[in-house]
Amino acid sequence: MEKSYNRLIENNRVWVEEKLTLDPDYFKRKALGQKPEFLWVGCSDSRVPANEITNTEAGEIFVHRNIANMVVHTDLNFMSVLQYAVEVLNVKHIIVCGHYGCGGVNAAMGTDSHGLVNKWLRNIKEVYAKYESELDAIDDNTLRSNRLVELNVIEQVHNLAKTSIVQKAWASRTLQVHGWVYGLDSGRIKDLGCMVDEIEDLEAIFRFEFHKTAVKG
Ligand code: CO
Instruction: Provide mean pLDDT across the span 76-84.
Output: 98
Question: Is the confidence at residue 214, as pLDDT, over 80?
Answer: no
Q: How far is the CA of 142 from the centre of ligand 1 (A)?
A: 14
Same domain membership, residue 3 and residue 91: no
Same domain (yes/no): 20, 42: no
Q: Is the pLDDT of residue 71 over 90?
A: yes
* Domain co-membership, 9 together with 19: yes
Report the separation in Å between the CA atom of 76 and the middle of ligand 1, taken as the mean of its atom positions. 21
Quote the pLDDT of residue 210.
Answer: 82
Q: What is the mean pLDDT of the chain?
A: 96
pLDDT at 80: 98
Task: Spot the catalytic one: 47, 73, 114, 207.
Answer: 47
**Same-domain pairing of 106 and 196:** yes
> Are 77 and 138 in the same domain?
yes
Known catalytic membership, residue 47 = yes
Looking at residue 2, its pLDDT comes to 79
Please indicate, yes or no, if residue 92 is contained in any of the structural domains: yes
Residue 217: inside a domain, yes or no?
Answer: no
Query: Is pLDDT above 70 for 48?
Result: yes
CATH number at residue 82: 3.40.1050.10
Q: Are residues 150 and 46 in the same domain?
A: yes
Distance 125 CA to ligand 1 centre (A): 15
86 and 17 in one domain? Answer: no
pLDDT of residue 184: 98
Number of domains composing the chain:
2
The reply to whether 212 falls in a domain is no
Give yes or no: residues 28 and 48 share one domain. Answer: no
List, for residues 151-164, the tens digit of each pLDDT value.
999 999 999 999 99
Same domain for 16 and 97, yes or no, is no
Q: Does 77 share its domain with 5?
A: no
DSSP strand pairing (189-191 vs 176-182): antiparallel
| Catalytic-role residue among 102, 158, 178, 194 | 102
Q: Mean of the pLDDT values across residues 162-189?
A: 98
Answer whether residue 215 is part of any domain.
no
Residue 188 and residue 144 share a domain: yes
Residue 213 lies in a domain: no
Q: What confidence tier does 211 reach under pLDDT thresholds 50, 70, 90?
A: low
Residue 217 has pLDDT above 80, yes or no: no
Residue 57 CA to ligand 1 centre (angstroms): 23
pTM: 0.94
Q: Does residue 178 lie within any of the structural domains? A: yes
Both 26 and 47 in a single domain?
no
**Is 163 domain-assigned?**
yes
Select which of 43, 64, 97, 158 is catalytic: 43
On whether residue 214 sits in a domain, the answer given is no
Cα 42 to ligand 1 centre (Å): 8
Residue 43: active-site member: yes
- Structural domain including 20 reads 1-32
